[in-house]
Amino acid sequence: MFFINVPVGAFALFGILTFLPSREPKHDAKFDAFGFATLGLAIGALQAMLDRGEQLDWFGSHEIVIEALIASISFAFFIAHTATVGKSSFFKYELLKDRNFATGTFFIFIIGAVMYATRALLPPMLQNLMNYPVATTGLVTAPSGAGTMIAMLFAGRLLKHIDARLMLLAGFVVSAFALWQMMQYTIVLSESDIVWPGVIQGFGLGLVFVPLSALTFSTLTPALRADGTATYSLMRNIGSSIGISIVQTLLTRNTQVSHSDLAANVTAFNPVVAPILATGSRMDMAVLDVSITQQAAMIAYLNDFKLMFVATLAVIPLVLLIRPSRKAPDESVAHAAMD
C-alpha cells in the first residue's frame, strides 16, 4: 500500500531539483544539539504515549507512565535550556512575542486536531457500522480533499481584495456547519450523505488555511520566518496526534457507556422488546446485542463530532485577537507555511 507514494515522491523530488533555487548554507549560526535532542525525545515519547495510550489503558500501564515521564522531563530540560542558552537557542522565544503568530499557531493546533480526527473517525465508522467496502470508503471520503484544493485556489486570489480575517471567519463557520451535518448521521446513510459534508468541511478548511498562514506570518520579521514555519508545522502535527488520541479514547469509552444505557432498557417491562425476550432464540438475542452495539457506537461517533463542532465554534472569537496586516498578505509565504 505504501508503494503508492513512490511515484508521488519521485515527482516531488524532480520538482525540487528542477525549480527550487539553490543557495549556500549559512555556517555562522551554531546548531543547538542539546535543545534539538531534548525536544526530539519529548515529542517522540509524547507521540508513542498518544499512539499506544488507548490500547494500554493509559496510565494504568507502566509503559505509558514511563513515556509520560520521559516526555515531561525532556520538555522541562528543553525549556530550561533554550531559555538560558541565548541567541543560539534551538527555539526562538521572540516568536511568542508576536501576537499574530501565537494566535495563529494555536489556531493551527486546533485545526490539526479537528481535521485529522475527522479523517480518522470516518473510515472505521463507514466500514464497521455501515459495511462499506474499503474501496468505497476511499471514494466517498476522497472528495473532501477536492473541496480543500478548490477553496485554496480561490482563497489565494481573494486575499488581495478582502480582509483575511473575514475569510478566516467564513472558513470556520463553513467547517462548523459541516460538522453539524455530521452530527445528524445515522447508521443508514447514502453515499451522497457522506460525500457532501466532507466536501463542505474540506472547502471550509481551504478557506482557513490560506488566510491563517498569511496572517500568522504577516507580522514576523524575515529572520524569524524559517523558525516560525517549523514551529507552525510542528504544532499542527502535535494537534493532530492529540486530537486523534482524544476522539479514539472517547469513542471507546462512550461506546461502552451507551451500550450499558441502551441495554438497561432491554427488559421484559419494555413493550418493544418484550416479545423478543419472551419467544426469541439465542440467535435473536445475539442479533439484538449486535444492534445495540451498533447503535451505541453510532452515539459515540456523534458525540465525537459534537465535540469537534463545539471546539470549532469556541475558537472563532479568537479571530478578533489577530491584527490585520497593513499590506496585502504575501501569498507565497502562506503557501510555504502550509507546506
Angstrom distance (rounded) from CA 272 to CA 276: 8
Q: What is the pLDDT of residue 178?
A: 93
Using the predicted structure, report yes or no on whether residue 101 has a pLDDT greater than 70. Answer: yes
Using the predicted structure, report yes or no on whether residue 332 has a pLDDT greater than 60. Answer: no
- 153-202 pLDDT per residue, tens: 888 888 888 888 888 899 999 999 999 999 999 888 888 889 999 999 99
Q: What is the pLDDT of residue 296?
A: 92
Residue-range domain boundaries for the chain: 30-84, 100-338
Average pLDDT over residues 254-261: 89
Average pLDDT over residues 207-235: 87
- 30-66 pLDDT per residue, tens: 777 888 899 899 999 998 898 888 888 888 889 999 9
pLDDT greater at residue 90 or residue 253: 253
Using the predicted structure, report yes or no on whether residue 112 has a pLDDT greater than 70. Answer: yes
Average pLDDT over residues 218-246: 87
pLDDT tier at 268, thresholds 50, 70, 90:
low
Choice among 193-197, 215-219, 271-275 with the minimum mean pLDDT: 271-275
Percent of the chain residues past pLDDT 70, beyond the cut:
88
pLDDT greater at residue 29 or residue 63: 63
Give the chain's end-to-end CA distance (angstroms, integer): 24
Q: What is the pLDDT of residue 300?
A: 93
Q: What is the pLDDT of residue 276?
A: 67
CATH topology of domain 100-338: Growth Hormone; Chain: A; (1.20.1250)
Mean pLDDT over the full length of the chain: 84
What pTM did the predictor assign?
A: 0.81
